[in-house]
A and B are shown apart, each in its own frame.
Chain A
């Protein structure tokens, strides 16, 4: 206000001087007042112009935050503008910080393997994360503001949602699940703030499959043990009740011995498996020459091939082992376990290849410093749908035939376990009618040359 008076006073003063020079009191008074009014008007106009400038600048500031202050502004107006600019920048900064934080939280929710869907009070989707999209086949952008039950139509979920009893969760198949690629979800809804709902979904396919495998395993073991037990019980009853001649008695006892041996094999394999699971991983420092492992393997294989040929009365399998000169390597780990795995692979090949077939055993160093142990047979081969499940316990491609051939159904499980403990992988390649190749791939740190 002070500044306002200075020019007014000046005008007053100058007008008075004019009045004095004229030397008429009336003219002096009139010119004083008129000059004052004119000065006031001029000042008001100037002030208004500055205010308009400030407003225009503010308006521009909202769109372009870097607009410079108009140079015409001075004094109080300039100070006001500077203060406003500071406030404006502070607010901007805070907004940026908050939106960054929000973005951060959203990214974290997107990274979560659990699906999150946020619903507003009307049951429309407010936000959802990537996992939720994958679980339910939703679209993260387009499905915002959609009514949730229009897209998640599973009757189980709809009933759960409409009954509003959210004390427990439910499990259901994802709409994307197919027979070949099952997707089982555990879904739980939680209410939050005012009438809003949070739908959480978790992929429990693996857990349910694990449960199923465990159930199957117990059922399979019981079944495998019951069959020979029933046979044994039957023979025992016959021996107890019927008067038999010596030959019959011997025959029955021989059959009983065979079934008892089968049970023994099965229990032996089961124990081997549980030992593999319970024992600490094999030592990296104990090295065994591959030569000794394969020599033991060859001895067993020839014996088995001879026995099979004799019992079937047919031609013996042709076994091809690598020459000793090629076996210039050592392998780290438990010699017993590796030997049993190798023998398992070779005897499988002998059992499943028709008599007279070829079985070739190879030991090949790989370029990365590791090595592979491969067993290639000329048998009937394995269909692709069986290959994935072959190492499951008691999984049989053709159940009647394998039991006949004396397998326990656990051989490949043991092989897979042993190889896993030695950081190796089991690879199975086969085409129907063209034989099968079982390969154990050992990594470089487990193999060294001598």
Chain B
């Protein structure tokens, strides 16, 4: 995915960092997928896998940091290479946190199902299915955008994160209605609120990853900027056009 450098060893180092990051991405994606399945079926047989994968994710996070620091120390990269390395570091953090959110979901569902069967049956767990599917899909597409360095895909992700936020708002209103109707489900309701928040956070992490992808390609930091401004800047900046290098 890189342009050729004079030192082919440098290319090797960079692609190793990318490979490690995407391997970690695969693991986190799997964790999130399992969490989504647990949410949809309220079955716990998959929860164990999420917890065991966590160890591998953490190990990879440490390994990636090590690779990055050694590449920066030995090669003193500049421009695009430096951006790539910085972005990998940030994306690693985001991925690790997204994995944690998946773990949180599994743990909360385990708690709800284990404690109070009545609450689990009456509460609208199924309503989170759409939002959680969307979040898992966003993480997948964000990593695809990184692998392909695809500007358009990254911008599409920024747009779609709003959808998850709206789903989250709607779900909160619904939970409030449930809890007002029957105070006995407040405990389970609060747990579900945490789950919904975790789903929403996974969507945010996907959005962050997409922002770093734009940073690598374009060189501009688009965090904390309104989407319209980013799009306008992208169209009105022919001097530094988004190039799709692969």
Measured CB to CB, the residues of A under 8 A from B are 137, 139, 142-143, 145-147, 149-151, 153-155, 158, 173, 175, 178-179
Contact = CB atoms under 8 A, between A and B. Distances in A.
A155 B53 contact: yes
13 contacts: A145-B246, A147-B1, A149-B19, A151-B147, A153-B22, A153-B23, A154-B26, A155-B23, A158-B23, A158-B26, A173-B33, A175-B29, A175-B140
B148 A155 contact: no
Task: Report the contact-size class of chain B (Cβ under 8 Å from the partner).
Answer: 20 to 34
A137 B147 CA distance: 13
Closest 7 pairs (CB-CB, A-B):
A153-B26, A150-B147, A179-B40, A150-B22, A155-B26, A155-B27, A155-B30
A390 to B, nearest CB: 20
Interface string B29-59: 1100100110011000000000001001000
Contacts of A137: 140, 144
A158 B129 CA distance: 27
Q: Helix, strand, loop or mixed for chain B's interface?
A: helix
A145 B140 CA distance: 20
Contacts of B41: 179
Task: Label chain A's interface by main secondary structure.
Answer: loop
Contacts of A153: 22-23, 25-26, 29, 143
Contacts, number: 55
A143 B37 CA distance: 29
A175 B148 CA distance: 16
A153 B32 CA distance: 13
Contacts of B246: 142, 145-146
Nearest to A123: B19
A178 B133 CA distance: 7
A154 B150 CA distance: 20
Contact of B37 (A146, A158, A175, A179): A179
Contacts of A142: 148, 150, 246
Contacts of B143: 153
Given A142-B246, A155-B27, A147 B15 contact: yes
A173 B46 CA distance: 14
A445 B71 CA distance: 76
A134 to B, nearest CB: 15
B140 A146 contact: no
Nearest to A152: B26
A191 B27 CA distance: 26
A113 B27 CA distance: 28
Nearest to B39: A179
Among A146, A158, A175, the most chain B Cβ lie within 10 Å of the Cβ of A175
Nearest to B26: A153
Contacts of A147: 1, 15, 19, 147
Interface in B121-174: 129, 133, 137, 140, 143-144, 147-148, 150
A149 B36 CA distance: 23
A175 B41 CA distance: 19
A399 to B, nearest CB: 14
Contacts of B19: 147, 149-150
B220 interface: no
B193 interface: no
A146 B1 contact: yes
B179 interface: no
Contacts of B137: 178
